[in-house]
Structure formats: C-alpha cells, structure tokens
A = this chain, B = another copy of it.
C-alpha cells in the first residue's frame, strides 16, 4: 500500500495544521481528495479545523461538505453568508442536500430552501417526502434516462448535457413518455453500436426496482443479490423517481450493521454518522443507560431467587462454587444462538416458516454442548474435589449429578431461548436485534439459578 498511495496523505495535512503551518497546508490541499480533507477535519476539530476551513478554496467547499458527517456539514453551512451558502447548496448532490437541510434548525430550513434554484427546490421537495431510511430517502434524482424511440445519436445528444452531472452514467434507464421504467441500456451499448441504432433494440427490459417507500435495507439486499451497480426507485405507478447507487449501498449496509450490533449490546437510539470519539459522553450515556437500568431491576429477580434458596445454599455452601459458572454458561450459549439467528435474519435467510427448523437445529446444538460441558465439569468435580472443597463423601455423586444435570438443562434451554426470542420479536413486529444479548443473559441468569437450586433441593438431602 504505502508505495502506491500518493505521497501526500491526510496525515501530512493534519500535522501541518496542528503545527499552524498554513503555507504548507495550502500547498497540500490540491493533492488531497475531498474525503481526505473531511477526515482531517474530523480528526482535528477546534482551532486547526477552523484553519482548514479558511484555507479551503471556494470551489472545493461543496465537495468537502458532502464528505462530512451531517452535524458538521450543517454547522458549517449555517455560518456561511447567503451568497456562498446558495452556491454550495446548489453544488452538493440532491440526496445529501436534503439530509443537510433536515439537520438545520427548523427556522433556518425555509431560508435555505429559498436560496435554492427552482429545479433544485422541486427535486428537494420531492425527496423530502420520503423517510430517511427508505429507498426514496436514500436515492438521488440525478440519473440518466432516454426514450425508447430515440436513436443512439439522439440519445448521446440528450445525455451530453448531463454527462458530468449525473452520479452514474453506466446505467441509462429507458422510460416511456409517462416516465414509466421500461428497462435499461449500458453506456457501452451506446459506445460500441452504430449511431443509427434505436434504443428499443438495446433495451434489456430489466425492470427490477424498489418502491420509494421500501426499507433501505431491502434495497441493499436486492443490489447484493443481483450485483447491481444502481437500483431504480419507483413511485406506486411505476414511474422512475431516482436511483440508489453502489456507494450508497455500502453506506446503508454499514449503517444497518452498526445499528444491529449496537441494538444487540443494549445500545439504543439512532447512530449518527459521527465517529465514536466525536460523540459526547452525555450522548453515550443516553443511548446506553436505558437497558442497563432496566436490566439491573430485572436482575433483582435472580437475586430474589437466590435469596429464597437460603436453605440449600447454607446447607451445602460448596454449591456456590459452580453457581456463577452454570448461570454464565446459559448467558454465553444463549448469546451465541441469538447472534447466529439475528445475523441470519438480517441477511434475509430466515422466513417465518423457519422457526421449527431453527428450534430443531438449536435443540441439538444445545444438547451436544450441554453434554460436553456437563461431562467436563463432572470429571472436574471427581478429580479436583477432595483437595479443598468441603463436600461430605456421601453427597459427592449427588453433587456431581446436580451440577451436570443443571448444566445440561441450562445450556439447552438457554440455547433455545436465545434462538427463539429474536424470531418471536419479529413475529410481533419488533426488530429482532432488540432482543439484546444482555437481555437474554439476564433472563437465563434467573432460569439458571432456578434450575440449579431446584435440582439441588430435589437431589441432595439438604
């Protein structure tokens, strides 16, 4: 890598700005991509970041802002004088324009709208109709389209004007006079065929698309499945409204995964496009405290269970040696099962009918893992016991049996609970990932104590 990257990196810019070397920084700018400038801005913050802003040539501002997290983009924009703001707003891609306007304070939005050109305003209004996380909310309206009855020569003329503007020209959509999607042609078809050829002859009649109000996740799954460079987005009547491009697909996939991962660890609320280090402590606490405090109170159930078995625990205090392990084995296996199932669901692998197959698979996995751990612990009890644990000799077999049986039942039931709860969540239309691992752990903490201490009561003469 090192050898092939351009010699100048964002790190050089960061250092120049940190040292306050404006001359060097200004020299570096033309050699860096907008994405590098944005990354440097994010890493710097404060004074040196402000310096970067003042050094930035006018014509790069829009490109730079496009690469920033929305909160920072908005902050910079609202501080601009109207003439510069109007220019930047006109230069950033329409999908980002809409996001950034929504980020602005309500009273400022009308003002920003007012600064847009007529056509941009119309495009933005169109996009604002859709939810942030819908296909319509993610699409760009800057796509290329041609009519079926054009020749290649006419199509090239029609496209020439927008060649630089459209995000992607590799897919050119074929529409009828109403704007209904009829298929697509590829730019290569225009390049490598006689100029008198009609578009209709080249049309591939591929009308795979999503509706504008579909979930963005669905759009990405479709693009992945069919290896699509861009996905058309239609209104209810089949009219082509915009496209989701390959780079949006990567962004959406990353956002959705981050959301899943965070939900599963009991972290709630929106994940912004800010970096972890740039979030505030307050924001972190706000997103994390909810589950922690709820689970703490639910955790008192386990405590109450434990408290109510005073007789068994005091009667054979050696029971406590295996107690945390039995309880935790449930959390660990349940968490694994939940992870497998939630991931399979987010990859679209499990339909509603899969519940029995999942249960049957995880039942067997749980029984085998339970059997292995139980056997290991029974052996451990027999081999390690006499040294330093006070178990009356006549209780040893019962004790080992209690631990082994408790492990079997706890691991098998936890595996099933972990696998089935996310499926159950989906059945009642919750995001399966809200069945966070901490929640499963807290549930099987209580069941584990009940299983172990009830078995102790039944098997051992305490």
Residues of B within 8 A of A320 (CB): 303, 306-307, 310, 313
Q: Is A234 interfacial (CB-CB < 8 Å)?
A: yes
Stretch from A18-26, A71-79, A116-124, A438-446 contacting the other chain: A438-446
Most-contacted residue by chain B among A262, A265, A376 (CB, 10 A): A265
Contact (Cβ within 8 A) A265 B303: no
- Residue A429 is within 8 A (CB to CB) of chain B in the complex: no
Q: Is A226 an interface residue (CB 8 A)?
A: yes
Provide the main secondary structure of the chain A interface: helix
CB pair B169–A293 under 8 Å, yes or no, is no
The reply to whether the CB of A207 lies closer than 8 angstroms to some CB of chain B is yes
Complex CA–CA separation, A163 to B170 (angstroms): 13
Question: Do B336 and A322 touch across chains, with their CB atoms under 8 A apart?
Answer: no
Chain A, interface residues (CB within 8 Å), range: 35 or more
CA distance A170 to B343 in the complex (A): 33
A341 at interface (Cβ–Cβ under 8 A)?
yes
The one of B6, B304, B368 that contacts A207, using a Cβ cutoff of 8 Å: B6
Interface residues of A (CB under 8 A from B): 1, 3-6, 33, 35, 39, 156, 159-160, 163, 168-170, 181, 186-188, 190-192, 207-211, 214, 218, 220, 223-229, 234, 236, 238, 246-247, 249-251, 253-254, 257-258, 260-262, 264-267, 275-277, 281, 284-285, 288-289, 291-293, 295-297, 299-300, 302-304, 306-307, 310, 313-314, 317-318, 320-325, 327-329, 331-333, 335-336, 338-341, 343-344, 347, 349-350, 354, 357-358, 361, 364-365, 368-369, 372-373, 376-377, 380, 389, 407, 411, 437-438, 441-442, 445, 449
Please, could you name 13 A-B residue pairs with CB atoms under 8 Å apart, sorted by A? Answer: A4-B207, A4-B210, A169-B187, A191-B191, A249-B250, A266-B332, A276-B341, A285-B372, A296-B325, A302-B328, A306-B324, A331-B438, A332-B438
Beyond A170-B170, A229-B246, 5 additional contacts (C-beta under 8 Å) are A187-B188, A253-B254, A260-B261, A275-B349, A296-B328
